[in-house]
Structure 1
Amino acid sequence: MGRIRTAIIPRLAILGLAIGLVRCAPAETGLGDASLADIEARGELVVLTLDGPTTYSREDAGPQGYEVDLATAFAESLGLEIRFETRRDIDALLSALDRGEAHLAAANLTVTPARRARVNFGPAYKAVTEQLVCRRGGPAPTRLEDLPGTRIRVLAGSSYEETLEAIGEALPELTWSARTAGSAMPLLDSVDAGTIDCTIADSHLADFARRRHPELVVAMNLTEERPLAWAHSGEVEGLQGALASWFAEAHGEGFLEELDTRWFGRFGEFDYVDVARFVRRVQSRLPEYRNAFEDAAESLPFDWEMLAAQAYQESHWDPDAVSATGVRGLMMLTLSTAERVGIEDRRDPFQSIEGGAIYLADLYDRVPEDVRGEDRIWFTLAAYNIGMGHMYDARALAERLGRDKNSWADLAATLPLLSDPQYYETLRYGYARGLEPVRYVEKIREYRAMLDAQGL
C-alpha cells in the first residue's frame, strides 16, 4: 500500500480539494481584476500570506497551513486555482495588497480599527486572545502595572504593538522593541532562549509554541477575544459578497469547526511534566530510531511521525518496556502478535518497530472499507490497543444507537459503553475497557502534533 503523509492528505480528502499552483516570487503589480467575474475569467485567485507554523509553510508535498486549507476551500468553491504569495511581514503584506498585487490577504490578521482604516475585511472566521508569553523562572508579569521594566519584543506592524500602545497610554514608562518576521514564532523562540523576557502571541500560536518550548508560560491575557479575518482592497466588485456567502455556508455546515479542530484542537490540556519529558526524549531517544520509523512507515497509510507518536504512547521509546500483562518492547507487542508478524525478539527495538508496522498495516486492511480518510487511521490505532473484535462490537453498537459507525467521533462516544453490562452482555466479544482506546488515540494525535511543533 502506498504511503500517505497524514498531515496533508486526510485534510484535503475531507475538503475535497487539490492545492493549486504555489509560487514564491512576487506577483505582478496590478492584476487588473475589477470584479469577481474578471477573477473567474482568469481562473486564478491570488492570496498574500505570511510564513508561520499556524499560517503557511512550504513542504515537499505542497504548502501546509490553516490559511492554506481555508483559502483553498474558498477558491475551490469558485472553481479557481490558487496562488499563494508570501511577504516578509504584515506591513509588506498590506502594502502589497494596497498596490493590487493580490485579491486577498489571508494571514491570521486581527481586525483592528487602525487596519479597518486601511483595508477592508471579510467575515470573521476565528477569535483569538492576545497573550503575554514569558519563560518559566524569569520575569512573568501578571498585572499590567508590572510590565514596565520587562524586556518585551513583539512582531513589527502587528496588532500586538497596537495593544502595547493602548496600555502605554496609562503606563508611559512602558517600553518595548519590535522585530520584523512573518509570525511571532521567532520571538517565542527568543523568549525560550532567554534573549528577551516576554513577547505577545495569539492564543492558538502560544499553545502551539509551548509544545516546542515547554518552559514558556502564559503570564496573562492582554485582550478579550478578537476576530481574525481576511483583508482585501474593496476594489473588486462582488468579492465581499462572495466571501460573506461562503463563510456563512462554511459556518453553517460545520466546515470551520472541523478545520479549527484539525489545526488548533490537536492538543489536550497542557501538562508541563508530560510535554517537557516528551521534548527531552525527542532529543535523547528518537534520533536512534528515527530511520527505523521512516523505513517501516513506507508500508503504512500514514507517515513516520504518526508511527513514532504511537510508539511513544506505547513505550516512551524504551525498548525494555514491559507491562504486567506480558506485552513488551518499543511497540509493546504480545507474544502471539510477534509470532504472527515474524518477530523473533520483541526486545530488539528495530524488530519491534518492523513488527508493529506490519501489524498496523494488517489492521488497516481489516477496517471496513466504508471507513475512510483519517477516521480509518484512528480506527486502526484503536484496534491496535483494544483488538479488532471489540472495534467490530463498537461499530455494531453505534449503529444500534443511531450513530454513524464509520465516524471516529461517533465511535469514540460509543467505545466507553463496552464496559457497561447493559451493552457488553449483548455483544459478541463482551466486556472491554472501552475508554482506554479513546484516550490512546487522543494521546497519539497529541504526540504527533507535538512532533510537528518540534519542526522535525
Structure 2
Amino acid sequence: MIVAGITACGDTGPDDATSQRRPDSGAGGEDLAEIQKRGVIHFVRFEEDSLGVLPRNQIVSQSNIELARRLAERLGVKANFLVVETPQQAMDMVVSGKADVIADNFGATKERGEILGLTEPLMEDEHVLITGKNGPDISDPDQLQNMEVTVLAGSLPAETIQRFAADNPAANISVRELPLPKLWPLLLNSIDKKEPVIALVPRTGAEALARLRDKIKIGARIGEPVPVVWAVRKDAKKLKTRINNFLTKTLVTEVPDRDSDWESIKESGILRFATHNGPGYLLWKGSLHGLDYELVRRFADENDVELQVIVVPESTDLTEMVESGQVDMAGAVTTITERRRKEGVEFTIPILETSQRVLSHKDSPPINSLRDLDGRKLTLQVNSAFIDTARQLRKQGIDVDIKTAPEEFSFGDIIGAVANGKFDATLEDSNLAEVQSALYPDLVAGVVVSDPLPQGWMVAQGNTSLLQQVNSFLESFLASEENRAMVNNYFKPNPRLLKAAKTRIQPGDPLSPYDELVKKYALEHNLDWRLVVAQMWQESNFDPGAESQVGAQGLMQVMPRTAQEMGFQPPLFDPEDSLQAGTKYLNWVRERLDEELPADERLWFALAAYNAGIGHLRDARALAEQLNLDPDKWFDNVEVAMLKLSEPRYFEKARYGYARGEEPVLYVRNIRDLYRAYTDLASGEVARKKTDDFILTTIFASRPLCDSAPQDWSLIKPAASHLFDAKTEKSILSLACFGSP
C-alpha cells in the first residue's frame, strides 16, 4: 500500500514547500516521447518528507517517491522532484507544462478528472472522525451536535466536512482549519486530555495515529470513499498508459502465505524482512537508512525481488517470527547467541562485531583496566545484554558490584545519571562510548570489557537455500570498501560532530575561504553570515568536495533531492551552488516553524531540522511537551527530548520513529559555540569595519522578527554594541520594526 497519512488524498497545508522551488527552465508537459528525448521527468508532490511517516509494515519501494524514481529508471530518464504547498499548485504546474506528473496521494474527484488525466487508483481512502479516549461518541455522524471539527486546511476532508455541515445546518457544526505543523501536534497532544479535539482525516492517517497512540478512537466515515491516484496532463495519453502499466505491475497490496525457502521467495517476488526501528532501520532527512536496511535492500535489488519491511516493537521476539514462518528473515543489529539458535533459527555469517566499554564520571577514579572495576558499581538495565557481560566479569574474579536501574529508567536515563554523579558507572557499546563522552563532557570512556560480539541476520533452521543465497551475497559485499564506509557511517562517531568547536582565526582575517559568497547569500535569506560560516565548518570543514555516506554534498552538505526541490541540480560541489542551496534550505526550514517563537529558538530549531529533518524535530517538540519540558526552547528542553528519541519507549510512539538524537544535539551545540567565537572575532576592531554595514542591514531587514524584539536584540547586540548605547537600543529597534516616524 502507498504510504498515506494525514496528508493523503492530496491534502496539504502551508507547512509544505513553497512555489519558489519551481524550476525556471526545463518545462515539462510533453507526452512520453518528448520526455524521453528531454532525459528528465518532472514529478510534483506535496509532502516535505517523502515518506510522510516511518514505514512500519509495507513494501518500502512503494512509497510515492520510490515509485516515481523507479518509473524514471524504467523510462530511462532522470527524476526531478518539485514540491508545492497545495494540490491546486500541483495541478497548475502540470496543466502549464512545468511538471509532468503529480506523484503523491492525489484524491480523484470529478472536477479534477475534467482538468487532468488521472491514473488508475493506487488505493482507496475515506474520511473518518477521530478523537481521544475521553472524547464524545463519534460512531455516528448524527452525534456531531454543536461540535467543532478540526481538519487540515485546504484538504478534501475540509471540503467534506464543510459540505456535511452545510447539509445539516441544525447540527450547528463549526469547522477549524489548521496547517499541517499545527494539526499533527494538536492531535497527538490532545489525546489524553479531558476534552480532546475531534478531527476528520483520511482513514490511512487515522490508522497511522492509532498505531502511535493506542488511545485514539476512530469513528464514523463522512462522505464517500475517494480513489487515490497520480495525475498527468489531460492530453498526455501515452505517459498515462505507461504509468498505469507500471503501477499495475509494481503495486502489491498483499503478500500471500507461502514457505520461506528461496524458490518460494523468488516465485512470489517479495522478501519479507522483520526488524525493530532503531540504528538498523530509521528515517533520516526524509529517506530510509540503517545498516540492516541498506544491506537487505541491496540483497533484494541484486536478486530482483521487492523488499517488504515489517517493523515490530522491541518487545516482539524476532526469533519467533522467523521460526514460525511469519517472515523470511529478521535482524536488528542482532547478536548471534546459542540461546537464539536453540529457539529454532540459524544465523548468517557475521555482519558486524562490537565490544563493550565502561563509562564513568571524569572526577571518579579512572577505570583503565579490569582490575580497576574491583569495588566499583555498574548500574545496568535488568534485561540488557550488558548484564550478561557484567556477570561474566564476576566469574572472572572481578569484584564488581552489579546494580539494576529502576524499571522506569531508560538507558539514556542511566547514562545521564552517571554523567551527573548519581550512578558510579555503566557499560556501553564501544562504538557509541565516544559519542556519549561528547554529549556529556563529564563522562569518560574506560576499559573494554568484552570480546567483539558477532551480529547477523536470522533465518529458520533448515532453510538452507535462503541461508546460502544470503551468505553468498554477504561474503562478497562485506569485503568491499563500500561496506566499510557504510559501517563507519552508522557505527563510528562522526568526527565532525566530535571535533571541538575551535577557531584559530585572528581578528581581521577571513573566517573562511568563502566569506564574500556567504555574505551574499546569507543576506539574501536574512541570515547572519557568521552563523552560516559556522554551519559550513560543521558540515564540511570548508571542503567543497565533501560527500557523506548518505549522499549529502558540498560545503553545506545538502541532499541531492533537497537541492532539486530548492531549484538546484546536483551535484553540488561548486561552492556557490552549495551555498545558494544550503542557505535557501535553512531559510525554508526556519519559515516552517512557528512565527511566534523567539528568534534565537527559531534559529536553533532550524539548525536541528536542517541536520535531522523537520519530522524528527516535530517529534522531539511533541515529546518535550509530554515530558513537561518547554517545547519552545531547544537547549535543556527539546534537545533532551531529541536524545530520548533513540529509546524504544519513546520512538515507538513517534511519527517519524527512531532518531539518532545525539547528531542534532551535538550539531546545534557545536555551531552555537563556533558562532559565538566568530561573533567575538567579527566584532573586533579590524573586522568591525567590514561588518558594520552588514549588521545594520540585518537589523533593518529583520522586521518579521520584531514581535520578539528583546530576544532579537540580544542576538544582534554582541556584534553591534559598539554601534548603539543602551539609551538608543529602543529607538533603533523601533526604527527597524516600524520605519521612520
Amino acid at match of 1:350: D
Rounded to whole Å, the distance in 1 between the matches of 2:399 and 2:489 is: 42
Helix, strand or coil: the match of 2:357?
Answer: strand
Structure 1: distance between partners of 2:336 and 2:276: 16
Matched, 1:218 2:445: yes
Report whether the alignment pairs 1:131 with 2:314: no
Q: Given the superposition, is the C-alpha separation of residues 334 and 376 from structure 1 closer, same or farther in structure 2, using an over 3 Å criterion?
A: closer
Closer/same/farther in 2, CA of residues 228 and 179 from structure 1, 3 Å limit: farther
Find out whether 1:451 has 2:663 as its counterpart. Answer: yes
| The one of 66, 71, 76 aligned to 2:301 | 76
How many Å apart are 1:221 and its aligned residue? 0.6
The answer (yes or no) to whether the contact 1:134–1:217 under 8 Å persists in 2 is yes
Amino acid across the alignment from 1:165: R
Equivalent residue number for residue 111 of structure 1: 336
Q: Mind listing any 5+ residue stretches in structure 2 that lack a counterpart? A: 1-19, 23-48, 51-58, 64-206, 213-253, 537-541, 558-570, 577-659, 669-741
Q: Is the 8 A contact 1:139 1:150 kept in 2?
A: no
Gaps of 5+ in 1: 10-17, 279-312, 316-320, 359-363, 385-447
Q: Which of the pair has the greater relative contact order for Cα pairs under 8 Å at 6+ separation?
A: 1
Q: How many angstroms does 1:123 deviate by?
A: 1.0
3-state SS of the aligned residue for 1:223? coil
**Amino acid of the residue matched to residue 162 of structure 1?**
D
Task: Pick the aligned partner of 1:166 from 392, 412, 416.
Answer: 392
Of the three residues 286, 289, 310, the one matched with 1:61 is: 286
Q: Pick from 7, 13, 20: which aligns with 2:61?
A: 20
Measured after TM superposition, the shift of residue 100 of structure 1 is 3.6
Say yes or no: does 1:39 pair with 2:265.
yes
Q: Deviation of residue 242 (structure 1)?
A: 1.3
Task: Give the structure 1 partner of residue 455 of structure 2.
Answer: 228
**In 2 relative to 1, CA 226–35 (structure 1 residues): closer, same or farther, beyond 3 Å?**
same
- AA in 1 matched with 2:290: G
Give me the whole-angstrom Cα distance separating, in 2, the residues matched to 1:355 and 1:257: 31
1:114-263 aligned within 5 A: 114-118=339-343, 119-138=345-364, 141-147=367-373, 149-169=375-395, 170-171=397-398, 174-177=401-404, 185=412, 187-263=414-490
Percent sequence identity over aligned pairs: 16
Query: Scaled by the length of structure 1, what TM-score is found?
Result: 0.55
Q: In structure 1, what is the Cα distance between the partners aligned to 2:299 and 2:406?
A: 32
Residues 326 and 250 of structure 1, relative CA distance in 2, 3 Å threshold: same
* Alignment check: 8 A CA contact 2:360 2:426 kept: yes
Q: Deviations over 1:231-267 (max 9, x none)?
A: 2332534211111111012024433112123323453
Query: Would you say the 8 A contact 1:112–1:159 is kept in 2?
Result: no
SS in 1 for 2:263: helix
Q: Secondary structure at the match of 1:110?
A: coil
Task: Sort the Cα spacing of 1:259 and 1:350 in 2 relative to 1 into closer, same or farther, 3 A.
Answer: same
| Cα distance in 2, alignment partners of residues 116 and 174 from structure 1 | 31
Q: 2:657 matched to which residue of 1?
A: none
Distance 1:82 1:195, change over 3 A: farther
The residue type paired with residue 327 of structure 1 is: P
One of 319, 338, 344 as aligned partner of 1:94 = 319
Determine the C-alpha separation between the residues in 1 that align with 2:362 and 2:413: 18
Aligned partner letter, 1:93: L
Shift of residue 150 of structure 1?
Answer: 3.5
Distance 1:80 1:147, change over 3 A: same
User: Aligned partners of 2:413 and 2:522: how far apart in 1?
Assistant: 47
Asked if the contact 1:75–1:82 (Cα under 8 Å) also holds between the matched residues in 2, the reply is no
Q: 1:250 to 1:205 in 2, by over 3 A?
A: same
Looking at structure 2, the residues matched to 93 and 167 of structure 1 have their Cα atoms a distance apart, in angstroms, of: 28
Letter in 1 for 2:451: E
Q: Which deviates more, 104-113 or 59-68? A: 59-68
RMSD over aligned Cα, in angstroms? 4.9
- Tell me the distance in 2 between the aligned counterparts of 1:247 and 1:183: 34
Give the number of equivalent residue pairs: 319
The correspondence for 2:491, drawn from 250, 257, 264, is 264
Equivalent positions of 1:289-328 (< 5 A) are: 323=506, 326-327=509-510
Distance 1:375 1:266, change over 3 A: farther
* Cα distance change of structure 1 residues 64 and 373 upon mapping to structure 2, 3 Å threshold: closer
Q: How far is the alpha carbon of 1:88 from its aligned partner?
A: 1.8
Q: Give the structure 2 partner of residue 304 of structure 1.
A: none
Taking the aligned partners of 1:453 and 1:355, their CA distance within structure 2 comes to 19
Query: Relative to structure 1, is the Cα distance of residues 234 and 109 closer, same or farther in structure 2, using a 3 angstrom cutoff?
Result: same
Q: Which residue of 2 aligns with 1:445?
A: none
Match of 1:310 in 2: none
User: What is residue 390 of structure 1 aligned with on the other side?
Assistant: none
CA contact (8 A) 1:19 1:72 kept: no
- CA, structure 1 residues 449+172, in 2 after alignment: closer, same or farther (shift >3 Å)? closer
| 71 and 116 in structure 1: CA distance in 2 versus 1, 3 angstrom threshold | same
One-letter code of the match for 1:45?
A: L
Q: CA deviation at 1:124?
A: 1.0
- The answer on whether the counterparts of 1:129 and 1:224 sit within 8 Å (CA) in structure 2 is yes
When Rg is computed on C-alpha atoms for both structures, the one with the higher figure is 2
Alpha-carbon distance, 1:139 to partner: 6.1
Q: Tell which deviates more after alignment, 55-64 or 211-220.
A: 55-64
Looking at structure 2, the residues matched to 227 and 181 of structure 1 have their Cα atoms a distance apart, in angstroms, of 29
Q: 1:136 to 1:68 in 2, by over 3 A?
A: farther
TM-score under structure 2 normalisation? 0.36
- The 1:48–1:176 alpha-carbon spacing in structure 2 relative to 1, beyond 3 Å, is farther
Answer yes or no: is 1:350 the counterpart of 2:528. yes
Q: CA deviation at 1:122?
A: 0.5
Mark the CA change 1:105 to 1:189 in structure 2 (over 3 Å): closer, same or farther.
farther
Distance 2:519 2:371 in 1: 66
Conserved? CA contact 1:155–1:183, under 8 Å: yes
The whole-number CA distance in structure 2 between the counterparts of 1:151 and 1:191 is 11
